[in-house]
Amino acid sequence: MSNISYLPVSATPARTTENGKVPPKRHKDTRPRKHLEPSEVAALLKAAHKSGRYRLRDEVAVMLAYRHGLRATELVSLQWAQIDLRGATIVIPRAKGGFETHHPLRSIELRLLGKLRRENPEAPYVLMTERGTPWTTSNFRKVLQRLATAAKLPISVNPHALRHACGYKLAADGHDTRALSHYLGHRSLQSTERYTAQSKARFKDFFRD
């Protein structure tokens, strides 16, 4: 009878050494991506456009949040008094100690906002519920989750994912950190550097043939 003993099948083999030391265990990075890609925002907008009775309101909400990097509280607080359709501008008082910013409105935004205003000529707030009350951040979050499901997006979507999507998109387009910081209403450049640090456009002119 052999005296050889065998390890159980489930036993974990010893890790080999590197340069005489046991290397630390490597963990796969499973942190979720916190921003949407432009193609995913486009899918959300497409889903909103088909979403039914309140599709115009929902499309406006997604577009404004994305194009202007709005926090959920900034979005649901928007009033028509802040929007100049003739002058094509929107005034955004920023939350969290940020400073007020004035953004241009592009043609597609003006078209959708004009239609929404005609549907709600007396409403003080841009985004209203079916009961005629202003939207809450919870309303926006639920609408986003529904649209993300309809669009079959591969990641969880929350309101701040659209603000991050704006920052990463503009950084990728080559806009400098200070201009982007002002656009997003950041008090500190450190809050903006997360976007520009990962932008490929940042280094595009470092070497030339």
The confidence score (pLDDT) of residue 194 equals: 58
Has residue 17 been placed in a domain? no
Instruction: Catalytic residue, from 35, 67, 71, 103: name it.
Output: 71
Has residue 68 been placed in a domain? yes
Taking the chain (209 residues) in consecutive chunks of 10 residues, what is each chunk's mean pLDDT?
45 50 47 76 95 91 96 96 97 81 94 96 95 95 94 87 88 82 74 55 54
Distances (CA, A) of 167 to 162, 170, 181: 9, 5, 9
Instruction: Catalytic residue, from 163, 169, 175, 183: name it.
Output: 163
Has residue 18 been placed in a domain? no
Please say if 125 is a catalytic residue. Answer: no
> Which is nearest to 103 in space by CA: 85, 86, 81, 88?
88
The confidence score (pLDDT) of residue 6 equals: 40
The confidence score (pLDDT) of residue 29 equals: 35
The confidence score (pLDDT) of residue 201 equals: 57
Instruction: Catalytic residue, from 33, 96, 115, 182: name it.
Output: 96
The confidence score (pLDDT) of residue 180 equals: 83
Give the alpha-carbon dihedral of 64, 158, 38, 111, to 10 degrees: -20
Q: How far apart are CA 27 and CA 115, in angstroms?
A: 51
Across the beta sheet with 101-104, the strand order is 83-84, 89-92, 101-104
Has residue 29 been placed in a domain? no
pTM above 0.85, yes or no: no
Half-sphere exposure of 51 (CA within 13 A, CB side): 25
197-205 long-range contacts (CB < 8 A, ≥24 apart) are 198/168, 198/171, 199/168, 199/171, 199/172, 199/174, 200/172, 201/171, 201/172, 201/173, 201/174, 202/171, 202/174, 204/174
Has residue 31 been placed in a domain? no
Instruction: Catalytic residue, from 35, 103, 175, 186: name it.
Output: 186
Please say if 6 is a catalytic residue. Answer: no
Q: Which of 147-166 are b and which e, b meaning 16 or more Cβ less than 10 Å from the residue's Cβ?
A: bbeebebeeebbbebbbbbb
Please say if 186 is a catalytic residue. Answer: yes
The confidence score (pLDDT) of residue 176 equals: 80
Place of tokens 């470092």: 206
Please say if 96 is a catalytic residue. Answer: yes
Q: How far is CA 72 from the centre of its chain?
A: 10
The confidence score (pLDDT) of residue 51 equals: 80
Look up residue 39 and give its two tokens.
């193609």
Distances (CA, A) of 124 to 120, 127, 128: 9, 9, 9
Has residue 26 been placed in a domain? no
Please say if 27 is a catalytic residue. Answer: no
Has residue 165 been placed in a domain? yes
Q: How many domains does the chain have?
A: 1
Residue range of the domain that includes 111: 38-197
The confidence score (pLDDT) of residue 12 equals: 45
Q: How far apart are CA 151 and CA 149, in angstroms?
A: 5
Distances (CA, A) of 41 to 59, 103, 144, 209: 11, 20, 11, 36
Has residue 203 been placed in a domain? no
Instruction: Catalytic residue, from 141, 160, 164, 194: name it.
Output: 160
The confidence score (pLDDT) of residue 94 equals: 84
Please say if 195 is a catalytic residue. Answer: yes
Q: What is the CATH number of the domain that holds 70?
A: 1.10.443.10
